[in-house]
Amino acid sequence: MNKRVLLVLAALAAMSALIVGCGSGGDSTTGGSGSTTSGSESAESSGPLTKPEFIRQGDEICLKGNEESKTEVEEFADEKGFDLEKPSKGQSEELVTEVLVPNLERQAEELSALEPPKSDRKEVDAILSSLDKAIAGLKKDPSTFGVTSLAEPVRLESAYGFSVCGGG
């Protein structure tokens, strides 16, 4: 793999980091992403999680999303007939728009079903706000995809304590 593919995958991992509770409104709908994380369903019915459990379940969701994204990127490139080793700017932007952003949104939906500790709500809300801005920015201009466009949400998630989410 060349540097561009590694950058896309690294940025994807970083993107997953951003997702903690991304969905505004806390809708717990699980349609569209296939399977759901059983931990998030049980957490939803039992109230707020402890911080270690919130981080563990969030990291599980991010890990699953990272794996799915890698597969989806490869399948998308194969379907469209372009080489991931040397995608054009347009192809890279199409990958972001058609694969990576929807994957990020799916992960966000799953993570939004997790209830953070009440004492951490303000911190999680800051992560969500930053993530919402990053997703909106990627939708508006997919060429901004990369560590810079996701730097603030990644910083906030890393500071919160995630290792997969935020740690990329």
Q: List the domain boundaries for the chain.
A: 49-168
Predicted pLDDT at 96: 92
One-letter amino acid at 13 equals: A
Predicted pLDDT at 167: 66
Residue that wins the pLDDT comparison between 129 and 35: 129
Instruction: Tell me the per-residue pLDDT of 19-36, one tens digit each, with 9 for 90 and over.
Output: 433 333 333 333 333 333
The structure tokens listed for 122 are 């303000």
Give the torsion through C-alpha atoms of 78, 139, 25, 49, to 10 deg: 60
Please, what is the average pLDDT of the chain? 75
Residue that wins the pLDDT comparison between 147 and 166: 166
Q: Are 5 and 84 in contact (CB under 8 A)?
A: yes
Q: Are 148 and 1 in contact (CB under 8 A)?
A: no
pTM over 0.85: no
100: nearest Cα among 128, 79, 72, 129: 72
Instruction: Tell me the per-residue pLDDT of 53-80, one tens digit each, with 9 for 90 and over.
Output: 999 998 998 899 889 999 999 999 999 9
Which are the contacts of 42, defined by CB distance < 8 A and separation ≥ 6? none
Predicted pLDDT at 117: 95
Predicted pLDDT at 20: 37
Could you give the residue ranges of the DSSP H alpha helices within the chain? 3-17, 38-46, 51-80, 89-95, 101-112, 121-140, 147-160
Please compute the mean of the pLDDT values over residues 113-129 and round it to a whole number: 88
Q: Which residue reads 């700017």 in tokens? A: 89
The DSSP 8-state label assigned to residue 161 in this structure reads: T
Distance CA 146, CA 142 (A): 9
Instruction: Tell me the per-residue pLDDT of 90-112, one tens digit each, with 9 for 90 and over.
Output: 999 999 999 999 988 887 788 77
165: nearest Cα among 35, 25, 22: 22
Q: Are 95 and 77 in contact (CB under 8 A)?
A: yes
Question: Mapping DSSP to helix (H, G, I), strand (E, B) and coil, where does residue 155 land?
Answer: helix
Which are the contacts of 24, defined by CB distance < 8 A and separation ≥ 6? 112, 128, 132
Predicted pLDDT at 154: 86
